[in-house]
């Protein structure tokens, strides 16, 4: 499995590179993972009505230099920007004996293991897809968002891990449509002990290859259990 570090690249340009890679992988080329940072951008998933979760007016978005791009991934609305590591795995699910749900769980598992390598205890949340940490606020905070698409049995889009992200950008939206759920970053959690972006790229790349490079590498799990997912009233925007 190849890992391509694309540096900082506009969202639409990275999407075009994903599509090109996807076509090659569908035709049998070696699977790959694209690592990237984006200039500030808010993206929508395919779910109808997600634009309502952009709470900032257009003039505020413009003043902060934030582009808006409708996407064809799953999920709701999210932000990408400098200091956030985005990984786009392009893999054939059948080669790894993974369902779509199993693939998402493999991504979550890889990120949790990566964060453990970096000194942060992270977990899944029964209420929502992604990777979460206890940041001391009393509510689990999201550190990694996940939104994927599978076409012709091969994956597109992926995950976004906050490393040194300016978290104030998330005030422009209701992240992932989850009212009252905070977001955090490695920098916020670890302060001066936070790893550099190259260190995070290496750790995440290794864990993704370990999770996706073999057949059913992530631990087997059943469907995400039903849970009471009412957000705390004090945290509702």
Which sequence positions are flagged as catalytic?
176
156 neighbors 148 (Cβ within 8 angstroms) = yes
Q: Give alpha helix (H) positions in 27-167.
A: 58-63, 100-117
DSSP readout, 32-100?
EEEEEE-SSEEEE-SSTTGGGGB-S-HHHHHHTT-EEEE-SSSSSEEEE-TTEEEEEEE-BGGGGT--H
CA distance 127 to 77: 17
Tell me phi and psi for residue 58, to 5 degrees: -55, -35
Phi-psi region for residue 216, left (φ > 0), alpha (ψ -120 to 50) or beta? Answer: left
142 neighbors 176 (Cβ within 8 angstroms) = yes
Name the token pair of 25: 């992988």
């Amino acid at each position: 499995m190849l890992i391509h570090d694309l540096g900082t690249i506009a969202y639409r340009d990275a999407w075009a590179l994903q599509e090109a890679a996807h076509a090659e992988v569908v035709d049998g080329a070696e699977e790959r993972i694209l690592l990237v940072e984006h200039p500030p951008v808010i993206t929508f998933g395919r779910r109808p009505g997600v634009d309502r979760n952009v709470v900032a007016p257009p003039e505020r978005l413009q003043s902060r230099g934030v582009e808006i791009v409708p996407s064809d991934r799953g999920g709701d609305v999210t932000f990408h920007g400098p200091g956030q590591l985005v990984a786009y795995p392009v893999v054939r699910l059948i080669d790894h004996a993974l369902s779509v749900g199993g693939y998402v769980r493999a991504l979550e598992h890889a990120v949790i293991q990566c964060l453990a390598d970096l000194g942060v205890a992270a977990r899944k949340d029964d209420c929502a897809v992604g990777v979460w940490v206890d940041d001391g606020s009393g509510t689990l905070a999201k550190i990694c968002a996940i939104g994927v698409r599978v076409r012709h049995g091969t994956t597109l889009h992926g995950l976004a891990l906050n490393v040194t992200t300016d978290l104030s950008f998330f005030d422009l939206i209701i992240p992932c449509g989850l009212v009252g759920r905070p977001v955090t970053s490695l920098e916020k959690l670890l302060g001066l002990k936070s790893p550099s972006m190259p260190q995070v790229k290496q750790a995440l790349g290794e864990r993704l290859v370990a999770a996706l490079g073999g057949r059913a590498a992530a631990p087997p799990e059943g469907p995400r259990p039903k849970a009471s997912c009412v957000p705390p009233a004090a945290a509702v925007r």
